[in-house]
Amino acid sequence: MFLLKAWRSTAFGAYGYLNFTKNGFVEHSKRFNPEDMQIQIDGKNCVVTGANSGIGYATAKGLASQGATVYMVCRNKERGEEALSKIQSSTGNKNLHLEVCDLSSVQEIKSFASRFASKDVPVHVLVNNAGLLENKRITTPEGYELNFAVNVLGTYTMTELMLPLLEKAAPDAKVITVSSGGMYTSPLTTDLQFSEERFNGVEQYARNKRLQVALTEKWAEKYKNKGIGFYSMHPGWAETPGVANSLPSFNQSFSGKLRTSEEGADTIVWLALQPKEKLVEGAFYFDRAEAPKHLKFAGTSKSHSLIDSITGTLHSVASLDSSNPPLS
């Protein structure tokens, strides 16, 4: 197990250095088709979580630039209002709305989903961007490890509860989940809340991001007849406030080599704009192209067989079949 973990880390480091940096983006962008980003999506409704900073902000701004009506889901009202105002000023698009919701709370997500459903608007694009890498073990008031609560349980609950509104936009509806290249270092595991005595936030984050990719596969299979496209992606190594706070040593070591938030968000916006017939259901995207979900000899591919039992657990924990509070 130690040797396998060491190989995953080494392979990930080499693969990432060649592809995930700013230089990787510059090289990959040589094959981009500029016409792909000239598509206007006026009248389409896009929901972006974690939209007040970093890649979420760049995504909201990019979609607004293409004419979309954007609903920015943010935890902090003041920072959300400031971000919304900046995007309106820079894009000239006044069709932006702030929705306040803490994605670490199942109950808050349920309240948000209920409020939003009352608008009765079709959701053409849901971007599950909100994410967290907390290095210390923190338990939410609902009883869940914080990274898991935001990255996994929050993403799962938001997506499942938005399905009726996504169906209203079928067959044009899309769910885009922002994963991370860090998932290459971890197989799927049923240990959702990291039961080991010595907590490792980076490893837990990698597990969460692997689960997001596997969830996307599962959703694509389960809801293939609902007219909703499910895709995961990763933004590469971008210089964002989240990275600076969670991985200060990494951020400092790669100073000047990291992507901008706009470069990190590029593939999210690209996915939102493309006709679904050009995309692969359940696929993992990076720099506007389908990317492998597993590194060679990393021993992670067979682990995706665990997804059925995991989704059953998530559904139960989120209590999506009743109005009862989630299980602790």
Catalytically active residues, by annotation: 205
Instruction: Name residue 79's amino acid.
Output: R
- 141 prior amide bond cis, ω within 30: no
259 DSSP β-pair partners: 238
- Which residues, at least 6 apart from 160, have a Cβ–Cβ distance to it below 8 Å? 315, 318, 320
Is 125 within 8 Å of 272 (Cβ atoms)? Answer: yes
- Which H or E run contains 201? helix 201-222
CA nearest neighbour of 63 among 163, 151, 174, 152: 174
Q: 323 by DSSP, 3-state: which?
A: coil
Across the beta sheet with 125-128, what order do the strands follow? 96-100, 69-74, 45-49, 125-128, 173-178, 228-233, 284-286, 289-290
- Which residues, at least 6 apart from 66, have a Cβ–Cβ distance to it below 8 Å? 37, 39, 40, 41, 269, 272, 273
d(Cα 125, Cα 168) in Å, to the nearest integer?
11
Using alpha carbons only, give the angle 120, 124, 125 rounded to the nearest 5 degrees: 120
Instruction: Name residue 48's amino acid.
Output: V
Q: Half-sphere exposure of 36 toward its Cβ, with a 13 Å CA cutoff? A: 20
